[in-house]
Amino acid sequence: MTELRGPVRIVGTGLIGTSIGLALARLGVVVELVDADPDNALMAERIGAGSRLVQLEPQLVVVAVPPDHVGAVVAEQLKQTDAIVTDAASVKSKPLAEARTLSSAEDLTRYVGSHPMAGSERNGPLAGRADLFDGATWAVTPHETSDPDAVELVRRLAEAAGARTVELSVEDHDLAVARVSHLPQLMSSLAAGTLVDAPAAHLELSGQGVRDVTRIAASDPGLWTQIVSANSPALSGLLEGIRDELDRLLIALGKEEAADEVTAVLNRGVSGAVRVPGKHGAPHIELVAVLVTIPDRPGQLARLFNDAAASGANVEDLRIDHSPGRPVGEVELDVKPDSVDQLVRVLTERGWAVHR
Amino acid sequence: MTELRGPVRIVGTGLIGTSIGLALARLGVVVELVDADPDNALMAERIGAGSRLVQLEPQLVVVAVPPDHVGAVVAEQLKQTDAIVTDAASVKSKPLAEARTLSSAEDLTRYVGSHPMAGSERNGPLAGRADLFDGATWAVTPHETSDPDAVELVRRLAEAAGARTVELSVEDHDLAVARVSHLPQLMSSLAAGTLVDAPAAHLELSGQGVRDVTRIAASDPGLWTQIVSANSPALSGLLEGIRDELDRLLIALGKEEAADEVTAVLNRGVSGAVRVPGKHGAPHIELVAVLVTIPDRPGQLARLFNDAAASGANVEDLRIDHSPGRPVGEVELDVKPDSVDQLVRVLTERGWAVHR
């Protein structure tokens, strides 16, 4: 069996690298911290993610540098050490191609890509958390010549960090993240972009829909430029599909009767939306929404959740509707169908305005 | 002064019509209920939204029928009565054009469009609620020849229902909703559509971003086909802009260095996203996210919100991160900057794992 013994060298002590260090340090694994910016490595060391000075040769190197540099740093680490090398980049084809160009075929057997799927809106070592990966998905993406022991060691790393591993080929992984992450990001950015020149009065008509669709458009453009550029082959195919659908839609909208094409786009959207896994992973769990009107002042949510808990219902998801200017808020509690009646009864008894 | 005295005739007793009836009935205004489907009108009457038999001539008629029929019904009511006539459709140019074709110029002065911006995922009279419009935005859209007294009466209606009115020209309104509602809907549907043929393993990599972007893609295609088709002039211009940006993006992604065009799209997205009003309307309020890890079992949210309330912080928004398979959940509490320190201190003291 391939055990994760350490030391583990982490190259790049941003959010991801530092969080991996913190997760391993809590298990007693020796972690070496390396960063091109000495202040970053120092900060990561100070919060307990590892040490900047480790004399022993690493068993495993984790490359967690910005996307544009991953391939080169992987190749460098393969050359400098005899360790297994993995990386944490969110696109896998490009770093593999770069590492392949820069490394010997023999060295490349020690490389296995991986992608821990957790993040935060905050960056840098001080945002690092030992529990960032608890229960998160961590894709492990071996290439054709990856050594099976190396693959196993990278799995152990992910599990040590608390994650659930999913093994995918490099190509499959990149198409998957293009679909479930990079394309939604671009669609959100394009939709939000139409609001730049809108008169303020137009924005007053905003509701929850536009808020949801444009939320991730506020993400860091520097990081996302690197991700989108790195995954352009997988993304281009999907974007061409969208462009072609837009062309058909535009032709239809110019005619007297646009209905068929519009309905086709909307129906396809429904079929896709219901496939997105819910709270506890696929399959999609049927939840029922219970709407409760609440006064917008401190303590009301606490009172509501006390009363919901008293009914025995587990709130699986919730949303606050915060339409501009409403003096009261509306909270949507999503619960399993068999909890609904009891929840509605208890909340109503306790004086809440409840709607199903 | 133009007072809303009633009777008010409501034509179309679905969610919106019934809710208007319930809101007026609570003020003692006489409401007449009319629906092509007698069962619908009967249900609306039974829950107290008004009466199917009112002998008096209406002062105001509210047309709340499906989008495709609004223009014809407005014209019919202008002809049958001497009342002021408004409608509740979410697109204003098309019903106005239809009513203009079917009505005399004199009758048309009694018509003023309006758009109550509230809804629910549920339809039909039984989903009706007297408080549906409390604090909601209600656009009032006079045309060139609308009588000022008629405009005033429609404002009174909106205020009587508890809404906040915004006056916009018909053209401005339709461009505004194309931007903040119809375009986001189509972008969400197009993004979700790419998931239809995805292997299940790809969907396992879904995170909160794709869930947010695709949420409204699950909306009713029948209703949205009517809305999108009715607003095709305003939407086409925006969709052409998106299509052109996609074309530029695809050309850039095919080249060695895509960065500039990608960054331009992402930067524009950031500028647009920050313009979307937050909870209490424009301007966008700065909120700080405090992340709390919680065990996924009943009562934990109640405990968390009790503890948050004890800190004196008002939770302005919140989100549950429900990544597939995580045994613990993460709740994001959004609070004003001056509440953060106290909130973090109190939650930490009470044993919560808190991250900023």
At A229-239, the pLDDT tens digits run 989 999 999 99
Asked whether residue B217 falls in the same domain as residue B130, the answer is no
A28 phi-psi bin (left φ>0, alpha ψ -120 to 50, beta other): left
pLDDT values of chain B reduced to their tens digit, one per residue, 356 residues: 689 998 999 999 999 999 999 999 999 999 999 999 999 999 999 999 999 999 999 999 999 999 889 999 999 999 999 999 999 999 999 999 999 999 999 999 999 999 998 876 667 898 899 999 988 899 999 999 999 999 999 999 999 999 999 999 999 999 999 999 999 999 999 999 999 999 998 998 998 889 999 999 998 898 899 899 989 999 999 999 999 999 999 999 888 666 889 999 999 999 999 999 864 344 455 677 888 877 766 677 778 888 888 888 877 777 776 554 455 577 888 888 888 888 888 888 888 888 77
Q: Is residue A1 part of a domain?
A: no
Domain that holds residue B26: 8-168
Q: What is the pLDDT of residues A298-319, one digit of tens each?
A: 677 778 888 888 888 877 777 7
Asked whether residue A131 falls in the same domain as residue A258, the answer is no
Any idea what the CATH number is for the domain that residue A150 is in? 3.40.50.720
- Indicate the helix (H) or strand (E) that contains B25: helix B15-25
Give A123's pLDDT tier (boundaries 50, 70, 90).
confident
CA distance A81 to chain B (A): 31
Q: How far apart are CA B147 and CA A325, in angstroms?
A: 28
Mapping DSSP to helix (H, G, I), strand (E, B) and coil, where does residue B114 land?
strand
Q: Is residue A278 part of a domain?
A: no
Inter-chain contact B250–A236, Cβ cutoff 8 Å?
yes
Q: How far apart are CA B78 and CA B95, in angstroms?
A: 13
Tell me B130's DSSP state: T
**Tokens 């969709």 belong to residue:** B239
| Chain B residues within an 8 Å CB radius of A186 | 249, 265
Nearest chain B residue to A299 by CA: give it.
B309
Q: What pLDDT, on the 0 to 100 scale, is given for residue A279? A: 44
Any idea what the CATH number is for the domain that residue A335 is in? 3.30.70.260
CA distance A94 to chain B (A): 12
Q: Across chain A, what does the average pLDDT equal?
A: 89
Q: How far apart are CA B52 and CA B299, in angstroms?
A: 46
Q: What is the pLDDT of residues A136-191, one digit of tens each?
A: 899 999 999 999 999 999 999 999 999 999 999 999 999 999 999 999 999 999 99
Single-letter residue type at A58: P
CA distance A266 to chain B (A): 5
Nearest chain A residue to B306 by CA: give it.
A302
Please classify residue B354 by burial: count the beta carbons closer than 10 Å to its beta carbon, then call 0-12 exposed, 13-18 middle and 19+ buried.
middle
Residue from B224, B276, B330, B340 to probe the interface with A (highest A Cβ count within 10 Å): B276
Inter-chain contact B276–A204, Cβ cutoff 8 Å?
no
Residue B115's alpha-carbon distances to A82, B25, B138, B259, in angstroms, are 68, 20, 6, 42
Q: Which domain-ending residue is among B243, B273, B303?
A: B273
- Dmax (CA) of chain A: 75
Nearest chain A residue to B263 by CA: give it.
A225
Asked whether residue A101 falls in the same domain as residue A20, the answer is yes
Residues A285-305 have a mean pLDDT of 76
Among A32, A89, A25, A96, CA closest to A60: A32
Q: Is residue A22 part of a domain?
A: yes
Q: Is residue B349 part of a domain?
A: yes
Q: Is residue B75 part of a domain?
A: yes
Asked whether residue B110 falls in the same domain as residue B239, the answer is no
Q: Is the pLDDT of residue A7 over 90?
A: yes
Q: What pLDDT, on the 0 to 100 scale, is given for residue B18? A: 97
For residue B243 the two structure tokens come to 């299509």
CA distance B353 to chain A (A): 10
Asked whether residue A182 falls in the same domain as residue A152, the answer is no
How many domains does the structure of chain A reveal? 3
Residue from A129, A183, A210, A356 to probe the interface with B (highest B Cβ count within 10 Å): A210
Q: Which domain-ending residue is among A273, A296, A318?
A: A273
> Least CB-CB distance to B229: which of A180, A221, A259?
A259
Q: How far apart are CA A188 and CA A193, in angstroms?
A: 8
Inter-chain contact B325–A194, Cβ cutoff 8 Å?
no
What are φ and ψ of residue B112, in 5° steps?
A: -135, 120
Are the C-beta atoms of A133 and A118 separated by less than 8 Å?
yes
Strands B31-34 and A328-335 come out as: unpaired
Asked whether residue A43 falls in the same domain as residue A164, the answer is yes
Are the C-beta atoms of B7 and B30 separated by less than 8 Å?
yes
Residue B89's alpha-carbon distances to A99, B14, B62, B94, B235, in angstroms, are 58, 12, 10, 10, 16
Any idea what the CATH number is for the domain that residue A239 is in? 1.10.3660.10
Asked whether residue A202 falls in the same domain as residue A147, the answer is no
> Least CB-CB distance to B276: which of A210, A280, A312?
A210
Q: Is residue A279 part of a domain?
A: no
Inter-chain contact B265–A189, Cβ cutoff 8 Å?
yes
CA distance B82 to chain A (A): 31
Asked whether residue B18 falls in the same domain as residue B162, the answer is yes
For residue A95 the two structure tokens come to 């770093």
Nearest chain A residue to B122 by CA: give it.
A356
Q: How far apart are the first and last CA of chain B?
A: 54
Q: How far apart are CA A195 and CA A214, in angstroms?
A: 10
Asked whether residue B107 falls in the same domain as residue B80, the answer is yes
Are the C-beta atoms of B93 and B70 separated by less than 8 Å?
no
Nearest chain B residue to A319 by CA: give it.
B319
Asked whether residue B163 falls in the same domain as residue B184, the answer is no
Q: How far apart are CA A19 and CA A2, in angstroms?
A: 23
Inter-chain contact B299–A309, Cβ cutoff 8 Å?
yes
Nearest chain A residue to B117 by CA: give it.
A205
Q: What pLDDT, on the 0 to 100 scale, is given for residue A207? A: 85
> Least CB-CB distance to B202: which of A164, A179, A195?
A179
Q: Is the pLDDT of residue A48 over 70?
A: yes
- Indicate the helix (H) or strand (E) that contains A273: helix A259-273
Residue from B120, B164, B169, B194 to probe the interface with A (highest A Cβ count within 10 Å): B194
| Chain B residues within an 8 Å CB radius of A126 | none
Q: How far apart are CA A94 and CA A233, in angstroms?
A: 10
Q: Which domain-ending residue is among B273, B308, B326?
A: B273
Asked whether residue A51 falls in the same domain as residue A188, the answer is no
What are φ and ψ of residue A177, in 5° steps?
A: -70, -30
The 10 Å Cβ neighbour count of residue A201 is 15
Q: What pLDDT, on the 0 to 100 scale, is given for residue B283? A: 45
Q: What pairs with residue A320 in β-bridges?
A: A331
ipTM of the prediction greater than 0.90, yes or no: no
Single-letter residue type at A240: E
Residue from A204, A248, A290 to probe the interface with B (highest B Cβ count within 10 Å): A204
| Chain B residues within an 8 Å CB radius of A193 | 245, 265, 268-269, 271-272
What are φ and ψ of residue B51, in 5° steps?
A: -130, 145
Residue from A190, A304, A311 to probe the interface with B (highest B Cβ count within 10 Å): A190
> Least CB-CB distance to B183: which of A194, A200, A266?
A194
| Chain B residues within an 8 Å CB radius of A315 | 301
Asked whether residue A146 falls in the same domain as residue A253, the answer is no
Nearest chain A residue to B353 by CA: give it.
A131
Q: How far apart are CA B258 and CA B260, in angstroms?
A: 6
Q: How far apart are CA B255 and CA B150, in angstroms?
A: 59
| Chain A residues within an 8 Å CB radius of B218 | 269-270, 273-274
CA distance B56 to chain A (A): 33
CA distance A145 to chain B (A): 22
Q: Is residue B135 part of a domain?
A: yes
| Chain A residues within an 8 Å CB radius of B271 | 192-193, 196
Q: Is residue A280 part of a domain?
A: no
